[in-house]
Amino acid sequence: MQIPKFLTDKNLIPNVTINPNLNYLGTETAFGFGAEVLAVETSKKFPQVYKFHVGDTGPTTPEPIINVAIQALKNKMTKYGHFQGYPQVRKNIAKYWSELRGVEIKPENILLEPAGKSAIELALQTLITQEDKIIVQDPGYPVYESLAEFYHHGQVLHWQAYKDQEKQTLEFRVEDLEKLLQENKQVKLLVINTPQNPTGMVIGREKLEAVAELVKKYQFFVIFDDIYDQIVFGGRKHFSFISIPGMLDWTVNLNGYSKNYAMTGWRLGFVVAPVWLIEIFGRLAINKWSNVNKMEQIVAGAIYGDVELDGFKYPSIKDEVQEIINKDFIEYEKKGGFVSEALNLLKPFIVCNEAEGAFYLFPSFTRVLNLKYVKEDLKIENDVQLRNWLLYERGIATLSGLDFGGRGAGHIRFSYAEDRNRHIIPGMKYLLKVVIELIEKSGEVAPLKIEEVEVRVGELEKKYFA
Ligand SMILES: Cc1ncc(COP(=O)(O)O)c(C=O)c1O
């Protein structure tokens, strides 16, 4: 009998055979580790646990959205809904999305789902046969690798980000992707996520157009995950893979309301794909979840236009919601710039990338991990152990690079979604002091003295938040 290795109490399982592939099912560490963070917090070991681990949004759902939901519930929209999403809801999404992406998207190209994530399984279950290969980004959002391994163990390939060892920077290079395609004949599916979790990197138009050329040459599908599409900084504009002529035919576009609209707990998303795929996804959806919550379908439509259902009217909340979330994005941008610069105060011990989008940064902690005191006294060997030490010994919650794939080794993922005054600013000051202590205890000279932290970070505070 094969017992899934992740089961905590292996004695609980009776003597029956269960799916052996469960041993290949990974996880999204943010959830499990989140529970550990909570436990440390309630233990009161630290006056405060600083939270840089969350994949959740900082702001709460805009009020107009909540009001539509309340109205829908008061109108007793509590029964089964349309399996694919009510036509008017999909029409509203299609209209908005067509304008946004500059490509014609019909209501038949859309399926409403319980959050963005559901599209991953739909795509894998529909497209992948036994001989097919799937390429996932490394580092990348871990659910892709986890589900691909679970369903198709041995068929998963990694598009590893190129690491410039001197600069400690990461980059997804198209030439590395092409090499994978040349070496592996039956690639059926590639996952591209931009803005990216965990790095916060944005993949721009030029690269996506180069990938589109590869799609034409090698004939494979793309899961294009742009769930953070509105959260881009520095004057950058998000560019969608489906905006490239012909690419909608090859794309499963995962999107939804979780991140842009601060609705992570609602579990509301949609997928845009060719009509034939949506028809298959719809059949799978009926078998899996029947339909998305009816009240939420109304919300999903009203965010983009007027909705009328069962004799009730729900006027569009598009403009007021956009105004609210635009402010959220400005706050993310400020926090991202602040955290990136604050971490770089300890260069070359910490080397942080620029905040380009989403609400993540993926600094290299390689030099911290190589410190004598860290290695020999604390016996920390990798970023997972460093993540644990930071939480359990210092009360700083982050995620480790390895939580996102082998290429993440030596990195720590910082989310800056949390509140600026409670977590981000004081947490950065505290973290820098903790790392300076590690540097000094190793007999090395830190670029900054502990006494200088308040002033130097204070300057950044003024630069970004004044
Ligand atoms: C890259 C990426 N894709 C998909 C998801 C899942 O989104 P949802 O909460 O809508 O299922 C996440 C959530 O963290 C994500 O980071």
Whether residue 254 sits in one domain with residue 198: yes
- Residues 124-134 have pLDDT tens digits of 999 999 999 99
pLDDT tens-digit map of 304-337:
999 999 999 999 999 999 999 999 999 999 999 9
C-alpha span between 255 and 253 (Å, rounded): 6
β-pair type (412-415, 360-361): antiparallel
**259 in the same domain as 115:** yes
Judge if 280 and 336 occupy the same domain: no
Q: Please check whether residues 349 and 420 belong to one and the same domain.
A: yes
Please give the Cα distance from 313 to 438 (Å, whole number): 61
Nearest CA to ligand 1 atom 5: 117
Please tell me whether residues 160 and 49 are part of one structural domain. Answer: no
Span 157-179, average pLDDT: 96
Q: What is the mean pLDDT of the chain?
A: 96
Asked if 388 and 437 sit in the same domain, the reply is yes
pLDDT digits (tens, 9 = 90+) for 401-435: 999 999 999 999 999 999 999 999 999 999 999 99
Residues 89 and 165 in one domain: yes
- Whether residue 439 lies inside any domain: the answer is yes
Cis peptide before 198 (omega within 30 of 0): yes
227 lines ligand 1 (CB under 6 A): yes
Judgement on whether residues 34 and 127 belong to the same structural domain of the protein: no
Same domain, 308 and 353: no
Domain of residue 308 covers 63-317
Domain match, 96 and 177 both: yes
Q: Pick from 232, 164, 162, 227: which is nearest to 191 by CA?
A: 227
Last residue of a domain, one of 301, 317, 333: 317
The model's pLDDT over 88-124, given as tens digits with 9 standing for 90+, comes to 999 999 999 999 999 999 999 999 999 999 999 999 9
177 in a domain, yes or no?
Answer: yes
Question: Is residue 269 within 6 Å of ligand 1 at its C-beta?
Answer: yes
Task: Measure 261 CA to ligand 1 centroid, in angstroms.
Answer: 13
Residue 256 beta carbon below 6 angstroms from any ligand 1 atom: yes
Pocket test for ligand 1, best of 146, 192, 227 (most atoms within 8 A of CB): 227
Residue 451 lies in a domain: yes
With a 6 Å cutoff on the Cβ, whether 114 touches ligand 1 is no
Q: What is the DSSP letter of 8?
A: S
Expressed in angstroms and rounded, the spacing between residue 156 Cα and the centre of ligand 1 is 20
Does 274 map to a domain?
yes
**298 and 258 together in one domain:** yes
Q: Is 34 in the pocket of ligand 1 (CB under 6 A)?
A: no
CATH at residue 102: 3.40.640.10
Whether 292 is in a domain gets the answer yes
CATH of the domain at 433: 3.90.1150.10
55 and 68 share a domain? no
Pairing state of beta strands 187-193 and 251-256?
A: unpaired
